[in-house]
Amino acid sequence: MLPEALHSIESFLDYLRGEKRASVHTVAAYQRDLSRFRHYCSERQIEQWQQLEGADIRLYISNRHKAGITAKSLQRELAAIRSFFQHLLKKQLLEQNPAQGIQAPKSNKKLPKTLDVDQVAGILDASADSVLEIRDVAIFELFYSSGLRLSELVMLDIHDIDLSEGGLKVRYGKGGKQRQVPVGKKALDAIQRWLACRPAVESDALFVSKRGARLGQRSVQMRLEKWCVKNGLSEHIHPHMLRHSFASHMLEASQDIRAVQELLGHADVSTTQIYTHLDFQHLASVYDKAHPRAKRLKD
């Protein structure tokens, strides 16, 4: 492709980093998706973005689908392409978005794997035998207490948590969004135990390694795996299972999907709906109480 076409991608990525404040992971994913699409365009001898038509993008998505790429991945790739062209449209480098209206194959929504209350207790109630395990228990408690994403938890600083008020500020939520979430007593107690023995280091990170560096995502995953093996939990458990379990248990107990949506930091309630376990009896009860023409006259 022509140099100006390649420069447009770099300009778009700079826009994501700067104005949109997208996370490093989001920018990297967009970069991979657009680089792959650029190679496709080069193979078809498309030298500039203005030459693209909707049929070219449909063929690209179709070829990727035939190659075995999942519907979820294709939806993400198409979203990246659509956002890129929307950016060019705003910059008046295109007259229309060729990706507009193009749909990726739909994926079947599967309920995320969750733990029951006893399984969660098996993880959180086990005794810690070292400073690092005291830290780990605080991490696991916080996952389940506040439903944090792994990326959100590792970016927490000490000043983000208010022990007296029982809450914390998530500064690096998905899409750069911030939110306030409550922290339960068990998690607060675990965090206080960790802070009492946390190494005196310059880092502001809430959770640090034994060398004093901010704990990374992979380290948290490995520590949870090690903890489960030590405590005889045979099932493969990853950090997001604690977030999923938080969402599922909260919905089952409260039936308040909007509140759980806010706690999880979901932009769309449809994302939260995947956790619902509302049975028909409950729905019928809500209907009878709420609908003005559902109420039955008393004899």
Low-confidence winner among 85-94, 104-113, 239-248, 289-298 (lowest mean pLDDT) = 289-298
At 168, list the tokens: 């914390």
Asked if 62 and 177 sit in the same domain, the reply is no
Q: Give domain status of residue 291, yes or no.
A: no
Mean pLDDT of all residues in 45-50: 91
Q: Provide the pLDDT for residue 234.
A: 67
Do 15 and 81 share a domain, yes or no?
yes
DSSP secondary structure of 65-100: HHTT--HHHHHHHHHHHHHHHHHHHHTTS-SS-TTT
Same domain, 137 and 79: no
Share of the chain above pLDDT 90, in %: 55
Please give the residue range of the domain that contains residue 132. Answer: 117-275
Mean pLDDT of 1-5: 81
Q: Is residue 286 part of a domain?
A: no
Question: For residue 117, which of 248, 298, 236, 263 has the smallest C-alpha distance?
Answer: 248
Mean pLDDT of the chain: 87
CATH no. for residue 23? 1.10.150.130
Per-residue model confidence (pLDDT) at position 113: 81
Instruction: Give the residue with greater pLDDT, 257 vs 34.
Output: 34
Q: What total of structural domains would you count in the chain?
A: 2
Task: Give me the mean pLDDT over the 19-32 stretch.
Answer: 90
> Does one domain contain both 12 and 86?
yes
Please check whether residues 7 and 80 belong to one and the same domain. Answer: yes
* Active-site annotation, residues: 149, 174, 240, 243, 266, 275
28 lies in a domain?
yes
User: How far is CA 173 from its chain centroid?
Assistant: 8
Between 151 and 111, the higher pLDDT residue: 151
Angle at 231 between CA 229 and CA 235, to 5 degrees: 50
Q: What is the pLDDT of residue 109?
A: 62
Dump pLDDT digits (tens) for 172-205.
888 888 999 999 999 999 999 999 999 989 899 9
Domain membership flag for residue 101: no
Contact 158, 207 (CB under 8 A): no
